[in-house]
Amino acid sequence: MAQESTARKTARPAESGTFDAVVIGAGFAGMYMLHRLRGLGFTARVYEAGGGVGGTWYWNRYPGARCDVESLQYSFSFSEELDQDWSWSEKYSPQPEILAYANHVADRFDLRGQIVFDTRVTAATFDEKESSWLIETDRGDRVTAKFCIMAVGCLSAPNRPAFTGMEDFDGPIYHTGEWPHEGVDFTGLRVGVIGTGSSAIQSIPIIAQQASELTVFQRTATWSVPAWNERLSAEYLKEAKAHYPELRAKARARPTGFYFLFNAQPALQASEQERERLYEEAWQRGGLPFLGSFGDLLFEKAANDTIADFAREKIRGIVKDPATAELLCPQNVFGCKRLCVDTNYFETYNLPHVKLVDVSKTPIERITRDAIVVDGTEHKVDAIVSATGFAAMTGSFDKIAVTGRGGQTLAEKWRAARAPISASPRKAFRTCS
C-alpha cells in the first residue's frame, strides 16, 4: 500500500496563507474536490484529521469491513483511464483494498502535496468585509479562503454511548469506526459486541471465528440480505471493463447513483407465487438490489409487508433456535433503515458459543470490571466492541465552530431551521425505531 502520513504527533510549524478554497476532509469527496479545484485552476488546501487519505476506509478497519455497493461501481467515475487500470479483486472489496485504491488515486493524481494530515479543523469564520473564510486548526494553522468546502463525511463522527461503569472495565473497548491500525486478535477471548447495525453485521461472523464466547447486545434487529460475495475472475473484469462507460452512464441516471436490476412492477399487482419467485431470485442474486424486486416497496406499506414477510421467513429458516430467530426478525419497515448486506451473519447465531441478548426493553444497565449487565444478569466479557455507529450526517459539522454572516453560528442557524416535521400524506408506514 502507498504511504500514509508519518506526520502524526510530529511537530510542524503552523501555517498561514490564502487559498482560493479550503477543503475539510480527505475522504473520497475531499480527494475528488481537490482534483477538480486544481483542474479549474484554483489554489486549494485540504485539512484531514486522519493520518492518510480515504476517510471512511482509513478509519473503519474492523474485521469484515467492506463496501456493500459492488466495487466496480463503488469507485471514482471521473477517469476512464483509472477505471481501466484498477482491478478489483472481489465483488465487494474489503477495506484494505479500498484504502489501497484511495492511496493509489492520491498518488496517481498527485494529491498529497496539497493535503495536510493529522490536522483537525476547529473553526471556520466568515469575514463579511473581506468575503472570505478564516479557517483554524488544532495545530495552530490560520488560513483564509474564498470558499470553505465541507467534505467531512456523513458517517465520520463516531457515536460512543457513555455506559455507566465503562471506566471500571479491565479490558479494551473498541469502536468499529476507530479500529486500531495494527488489528485486534480476539483468539480465546470472551467478546461483547454492542449494536447490530451494518458494522456489527459485517464484523460479528469474523469475530465469532476467533472469540471463545461472543455475546451480541441487540436493541433493534436489522434487515440484511446475503452478499454472495465472490472473487472477480480476469474474464469477468475484462468484460466489465469493456462496458465500463455504459455502466457509469446507467449508474448516473439512477436516483440511487448506482445501477442494479429494478423491476418497476408494483408488488401488489403480482400474484403471491410470482412475488415469491421474484423475491427468491433476487435473494439468490443478493445485496442491496433485493429492494429493487418491485417498484412500490418503499411507497406502499402493504407491498413492503410482502418483502418483510419473505425476509423474516429466510431468517427463521437460517437460525435454528426459534427464540433467537424471532429476536433477529426486524419488526420495522423493510429498507426504512439502511439495508445491510452480510456474509453468514444469521448463520453465526447457530454457533454454540454465540448468544444474543435483547436490550430493547431492558437496556444495558452498566459495565463492571469484567461484564456487561442487562436486567440484573452479568454477561462476562474480556473485550468490548462498540458497533454503535455514528452521529450521522451532521456529527462532523457539529464539531467545527462555523460562524457565518452577522456572527450567526451554524448550530444556531440549524436549530432555527429545524421546524417540526409535518404529517406526510403518505403516512402509512410505522416509524423505524
Ligand X SMILES: Cc1cc2nc3c(=O)[nH]c(=O)nc-3n(C[C@H](O)[C@H](O)[C@H](O)COP(=O)(O)OP(=O)(O)OC[C@H]3O[C@@H](n4cnc5c(N)ncnc54)[C@H](O)[C@@H]3O)c2cc1C
Q: Judged by CB under 6 A, which of 49, 135, 189, 319 binds ligand X?
A: 49
* β-strand partners of 240: none
Total residues in contact with ligand X, by rule CB under 6 A? 31
Site string for ligand X, 174-203 (x = CB under 6 A): -------------------------x----
Q: Judged by CB under 6 A, which of 23, 55, 282, 319 binds ligand X?
A: 55
Burial of 23: CB neighbours in 10 Å, binned 0-12, 13-18, 19+: buried
Which residues, 149 to 168, sit near ligand X by CB under 6 A?
A: 151-153, 155-156
Q: How far is the CB of 228 from ligand X (least distance, A)?
A: 15
For residue 111, what is its C-alpha cell? Answer: 494529491
Q: How far is the CB of 30 from ligand X (least distance, A)?
A: 5
How is 351-386 classified by DSSP, letter by letter? STTEEEEE-SSS-EEEE-SSEEEETTEEEE-SEEEE
- Considering the rule CB under 6 A, would residue 60 count as an interface residue with ligand X? yes
* 58 versus 223: smaller Cβ distance to ligand X: 58
CA distances from 332 to 296, 304, 337, 431 (A): 17, 10, 9, 7
Q: Judged by CB under 6 A, which of 22, 34, 37, 65 binds ligand X?
A: 65
Q: Judged by CB under 6 A, which of 44, 48, 143, 226 binds ligand X?
A: 48
How is 218-274 classified by DSSP, letter by letter? ESS---EEE----BPPHHHHHHHHHTHHHHHHHHHTSTTSS------S-GGGS-HHH
- Considering the rule CB under 6 A, would residue 103 count as an interface residue with ligand X? no
Pairing of strands 213-218, 190-194: parallel
Q: Judged by CB under 6 A, which of 19, 44, 50, 319 binds ligand X?
A: 50
Burial of 134: CB neighbours in 10 Å, binned 0-12, 13-18, 19+: middle
Q: How far apart are CA 332 and CA 431, in angstroms?
A: 7
- Considering the rule CB under 6 A, would residue 99 count as an interface residue with ligand X? no
Which residues, 335 to 354, sit near ligand X by CB under 6 A?
A: none
Q: Judged by CB under 6 A, which of 5, 56, 222, 348 binds ligand X?
A: 56
> What SS3 state is found at 185?
coil
- Considering the rule CB under 6 A, would residue 47 count as an interface residue with ligand X? yes
Q: Which residues bind ligand X (CB under 6 A)?
A: 24-30, 47-50, 55-56, 58, 60, 65, 67-69, 74, 120-121, 151-153, 155-156, 199, 396, 399-400
